[in-house]
Amino acid sequence: VSLRQIDELVCLQIDHPKARALVALQGAQLLEYTPAGAQPVIWLSEQAEFKRGQSIRGGIPICWPWFGDARKNPETVQAMLPEGNLPAHGWVRSKPWLLDRISSDDNGVHLKLCFPETQWPAPFPQGVELSVEMSIGEELNIALLTENKSDQTLNISQALHSYFAVSDVIHASINNLIHVPFIDTLNDWNENIDQAPICISGETDRIYKNTPEMICIVDSKWNREIQIYSKDSQSAVVWNPWIEKAKRLSQFESSAYKQMLCVETANVLNNCKELPPGSGWVLQTNIANHSTPPIANC
């Protein structure tokens, strides 16, 4: 592991026999992850900017203490937020985190990063501890830990906003979300359900409630599947901006929508977390890359 300054940000460059990775201390954001002998599993925009106080497009942004547009969150979450303009996906992804510990062994590199003493504006309580633990090797495990050591009940929504790399989004499908209800944020937030594997053929922005333990992105050009595990039947967000939205995104080359697909492990909507004093919650995902025989999907 070495320190690498990229423009304004300090990152950890990880070169292990099992995998290569890049982690920005700002936002505790994993930016790159490529298991040995495989195609990259995590996508990073070629136009990513490494500037203090600005989120980086790609990797696995940490969305906390709210997901998405603060005003779309449940009342309990909104009641914890200060007035003023609230950035999408919370604050912590554009703030500096501290490297608490790092170790490596034959299986990979293990990191823990902590959000500094949380100086949140009122009414957010003091005494909430936030950390991220990552194990980077043949698989990638990432866990976002919230510990409520304050004297108030804490209400949060959150997500590991994972940008996965695909050969071409038209060759990628998501298989095990058939018959799982989802909110279509592009269609008045109406609830809908799919009867077939998801093949992306336009702007897609869906919140799946109560997902199965494993979601699988199948790539029929790279002959691989990325298995995304999350415990406790979290929610999941599936997003691809497609052509028109891609033109409006920052740090995003207009055709890059073909190379990425977001499948985000989340606690949102009916899955937000209410944490009484003294309690905690772990949002975690395990990502495994597997080669497959040639398949036809989309």
Would you tell me which residues interact with ligand TA6 (CB under 6 A)?
55, 68, 88-89, 161, 205, 237, 239, 262, 264
Could you tell me the smallest distance in angstroms from the CB atom of residue 95 to ligand TA6? Answer: 15
Could you tell me the smallest distance in angstroms from the CB atom of residue 140 to ligand TA6? Answer: 19
Shorter beta-carbon distance to ligand TA6: residue 72 or 110: 72
β-pair partners for 9: 6
Question: Cβ distance 174 to 196 under 8 Å?
Answer: no
Catalytic residue (one of 139, 161, 171, 225) = 161
Largest separation between any pair of C-alpha atoms in the chain: 55
- Beta-carbon-side half-sphere exposure of residue 271 (alpha carbons within 13 Å): 24
Could you tell me the smallest distance in angstroms from the CB atom of residue 174 to ligand TA6? Answer: 14
Non-local (6+) Cβ contacts of 46 within 8 A are 253, 256
89 catalytic? Reply is: no
Could you tell me the smallest distance in angstroms from the CB atom of residue 209 to ligand TA6? Answer: 15
Shorter beta-carbon distance to ligand TA6: residue 46 or 151: 46
Catalytic residue (one of 32, 133, 139, 264) = 264
Establish whether the linkage from the previous residue to 125 is cis, with ω within 30° of 0: no
161 catalytic? Reply is: yes
Cα angle for residues 17, 19, 22 (degrees, 5° grid): 125
| Tokens at 4, concatenated | 């690498």
Shorter beta-carbon distance to ligand TA6: residue 126 or 201: 201
Dihedral of CA atoms 55, 2, 285, 241 in degrees, nearest 10, equals 30
Shorter beta-carbon distance to ligand TA6: residue 109 or 237: 237
Residues involved in catalysis: 161, 264
